[in-house]
Each structure stands twice: as C-alpha cells, then as structure tokens.
C-alpha cells in the first residue's frame, strides 16, 4: 500500500488460486508421493502469506483511499483479522479433532482436498484468462 507497488490483481489472484491448490496437494501427501520430498511449510507459509497480503493491497489500492489515518486503520484491520483467524482456527481445531476420530474422516478429508485443489486451479485459470483476454479484475 505504502510503497506504491502495482501488480495486476488478476495475476495476484491467480497465484492465490495456486496457493489453495498447493496446500490441498500437500495435504494429500502429493509432494512426498510424487517427488519423494516434503517442502518446508514455513517457506510456503511465508511466500503465500505475502502473496495473500499483496492481494489485499491490490484491492485496497483500487479503492483510492486517503492517506490520513490509513496506517492506523490498516493496523487495526490486521489485528482484527488475526484475532478472528485465531478464534476461527480454535473452533475448527476442536471440530477437526473430534472428526478425526470417526471412520468418515479419511475419505471425506481426501475428497475435500481434491475439491479444494480443483477450485484453486479453476480460480487460477479464470484469473489468467481474464488477464490474457481483458476480463474484469
């Protein structure tokens, strides 16, 4: 936001789609199965976290916000997002822990990850097509 970096939001959204597909593939054990290696999740979290943040910045840049009070508002927004994510993840952790103990977990989790991977690739493809052919950002 503050460094006046501009990237087409469709390209950023395409990489966000790839991040969803990447994580679903990782959840399915795809890297270890196909390539015999397991990428360091910290690197992926850092890279994709920066891309997701950049995605938000491209959306905020499109709003043409005034500079006065912007930093304080962005900090407050990010604190709120982090607190919301912490609360949501805590609830999801409780639910997932209970679900993992059932017989339905493995097949449904695998199916959900396949669908997430498909959705990530679709988002990526839509955004790249919009970028290439001039569709909406």
- The domain locations on the chain are 9-133
User: Would you state the structure tokens that stand for residue 76, as one six-digit string?
Assistant: 């407050």
Is-above-0.85 flag for pTM? no
Over range 70-93, report the average pLDDT.
91
pLDDT tops 70 at residue 19: yes
pLDDT of residue 114: 97
HEC string for the chain = CCCCCCCCHHHHHHHHHHHHHHHHHHHCCHHHHHHCCCCCHHHHHHHHHHHHHHHHHHHHHHCCCCCCCHHHHHHHHHHHHHHHHHHHHHHHHHHHHHHHCCCCHHHHHHHHHHHHHHHHHHHHHHHHHHHHHCCCC
> What does R_g of the chain's alpha carbons equal in angstroms?
18
**Tens of pLDDT, residues 42-74:** 999 999 988 988 888 888 777 777 778 888 888
pLDDT confidence band for 1 (50 / 70 / 90) = low
Closest CA to 9 of 80, 61, 48: 61
């Amino acid at each position: 936001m503050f460094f006046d970096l501009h990237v087409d939001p469709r390209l950023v959204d395409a990489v966000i789609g790839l991040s969803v597909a990447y994580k679903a593939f990782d959840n399915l054990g795809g890297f270890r199965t196909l390539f015999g290696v397991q990428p360091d999740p910290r690197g992926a979290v850092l890279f994709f976290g920066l891309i997701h943040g950049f995605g938000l910045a491209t959306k905020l840049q499109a709003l043409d916000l005034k500079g006065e009070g912007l930093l304080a508002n962005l900090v407050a927004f990010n604190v709120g997002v982090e607190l919301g994510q912490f609360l949501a993840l805590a609830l999801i952790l409780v639910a997932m822990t209970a679900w993992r103990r059932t017989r339905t977990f493995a097949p449904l989790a695998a199916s959900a990850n396949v669908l997430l991977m498909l959705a990530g690739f679709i988002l990526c493809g839509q955004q790249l097509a919009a970028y290439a052919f001039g569709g909406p950002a």
